[in-house]
Amino acid sequence: MDRLASHKVTKDIVSKYGFRFTKSLGQNFLIDEGVLEKIVDAGDITKDDVVIEIGPGIGTLTKELSLRAKKVVSIEIDKMLIPILKDTLSERDNVTIINEDILKADIKSIVDEYADGEPVKVVANLPYYITTPIIMRFLEEYIPMSIMVVMIQKEVADRINAKPSTKDYGTLSVAVQYYCSTEIVAKAPKGAFIPEPSVDSSVIKLTVKEKRDVQLKDEHLFFEVVKASFSKRRKTLLNALSSFGTLGEKDQMKYALEKSDIDPQRRGETLDIYEFARLSNEIFEIKK
Ligand code: SAM
């Protein structure tokens, strides 16, 4: 079969099956071979790898992954795509398609079943309406994985990848960078897909840290402090923290900031992950 990442081949398959794109499922299929290659290359996939893919569509990325990996497990919500995938992937015997919603699927069991406890690689052109929940689910549930290479909206990729004191830096940057190092590996214009999405896209590579950079006394409190610090971007850190409600009184926040060696007059968006960790560990001591 011809390579799937082309306008003509994708159109032909879609019309052969009378498939109708569902916009609300983020169905924008990749037709740019150059971008496809960059995604697969960024995954550094070898014959030892089990790859989890979310949303295979008509199998464009799935097929390329399966040529390099030991095994590909793809989770697709739309049952109309299942017969198409059977056809386009008929020559690939190392692909399993699971017809489920990735937000409801038991990902841990899937990984256990197919990867036998070894870390997987997650590679996907994600449905954009649920980009952040998918990424955070894999990270927060500590799904055993070494890397995640995902195509997402450019703005979300920029936010994930942002450094302190930039406009894109926020809770999402700190949340993802707590678990991973981040790198934008490719860009894709709207024309790389059919139908064209309304936004530009980037491919981001998240490499899971074997050990966190910071030692936390309470992970939940750390994320609450981060959220509070960004909740009022124009206010000083002291005001943002003390008006948040759940962390403590103003004098307690001032004490915690001073003990963490952070000027209370700074803005939350200037803090790096080490400072957030110091601060949340001091607040933990106050709340104890
Ligand atoms: N991988 C294909 C490609 O690159 O051409 C398709 C990518 S398309 C951006 C997103 C895919 O995710 C679609 O096939 C869509 O049906 C699927 N999808 C949407 N929501 C999903 C969900 N909750 N769980 C699993 N798959 C989902």
Q: Which atom of ligand 1 is nearest to the CA of 193?
A: 5
Q: Which atom of ligand 1 is nearest to the CA of 31?
A: 5
To test the pocket of ligand 1, the residue of 9, 29, 33, 110 to mutate (highest count of ligand atoms within 8 Å of its CB) is: 29
- For the ranges 132-136, 242-246, 275-279, which has the lowest average pLDDT? 242-246
- 76 annotated as ligand-binding: yes
Cα 163 to ligand 1 centroid, rounded to whole Å: 30
Q: What does the pLDDT average to over 168-181?
A: 97
Cα 127 to ligand 1 centroid, rounded to whole Å: 5
Cα 77 to ligand 1 centroid, rounded to whole Å: 7
CA contacts within 13 A on the Cβ side of 123: 29
Q: By alpha-carbon position, which residue is closest to atom 3 of ligand 1?
A: 29
**Ligand 1, CB within 6 Å, residue ranges:** 25-30, 54-57, 60-61, 75-78, 81, 101-103, 125, 127, 130
3-state secondary structure the chain: CCCCCCHHHHHHHHHHCCCCCCHHHCCCEECCHHHHHHHHHHCCCCCCCEEEEECCCCCHHHHHHHHHCCEEEEECCCHHHHHHHHHHCCCCCCEEEECCCCCCCCHHHHHHHHHCCCCEEEEEECCHHHHHHHHHHHHHCCCCEEEEEEEEEHHHHHHHHCCCCCCCCCHHHHHHHHHEEEEEEEEECHHHEECCCCCCEEEEEEEECCCCCCCCCCHHHHHHHHHHHHHCCCCCHHHHHHHCCCCCCHHHHHHHHHHCCCCCCCCHHHCCHHHHHHHHHHHHHHHC
To test the pocket of ligand 1, the residue of 54, 62, 95 to mutate (highest count of ligand atoms within 8 Å of its CB) is: 54
Cα 128 to ligand 1 centroid, rounded to whole Å: 9
Q: Is the ipTM of this complex over 0.95?
A: yes
Per the CB < 8 A criterion, the answer to whether 44 and 114 are in contact is no
Per-residue confidence (pLDDT) for residue 1, from 0 to 100 = 54
Per the CB < 8 A criterion, the answer to whether 246 and 182 are in contact is no
Per-residue confidence (pLDDT) for residue 2, from 0 to 100 = 62
- pLDDT beyond 70 at 83: yes
Q: By alpha-carbon position, which residue is closest to atom 8 of ligand 1?
A: 27
Residue type at position 161:
N
Q: Report pTM.
A: 0.95
Chain centroid to CA 172: 10
Looking at every residue in the chain, the average pLDDT score rounds to 96
Q: By alpha-carbon position, which residue is closest to atom 20 of ligand 1?
A: 25
Per-residue confidence (pLDDT) for residue 245, from 0 to 100 = 86
Q: Is 216 exposed, middle or buried (0-12, 13-18, 19+ CB in 10 A)?
A: middle
Q: Which residues contact 93 (CB under 8 A, 6 or more apart)?
A: none
Q: By alpha-carbon position, which residue is closest to atom 21 of ligand 1?
A: 77
Which pair of structure tokens corresponds to residue 208?
């899971």
Q: What is the residue whose two structure tokens read 């994600």?
A: 126
Tell me phi and psi for residue 182, to 5 degrees. -125, 145
Q: What is the residue whose two structure tokens read 């998918």?
A: 134
CA 200 vs CA 40, 128, 175, 180, 194: distances in Å: 19, 11, 23, 23, 13
Residue 68 or 2, more confident? 68
Which pair of structure tokens corresponds to residue 234?
């124009």
**Banded pLDDT at 3 (limits 50, 70, 90):** confident
Chain segment 6-56, per-residue pLDDT in tens: 999 999 999 999 999 999 999 999 999 999 999 999 999 999 999 999 999
Chain segment 185-220, per-residue pLDDT in tens: 999 999 999 999 999 999 999 999 999 999 999 999
- CA 180 – CA 170 distance, rounded (Å): 15
Tell me phi and psi for residue 37, to 5 degrees. -65, -40
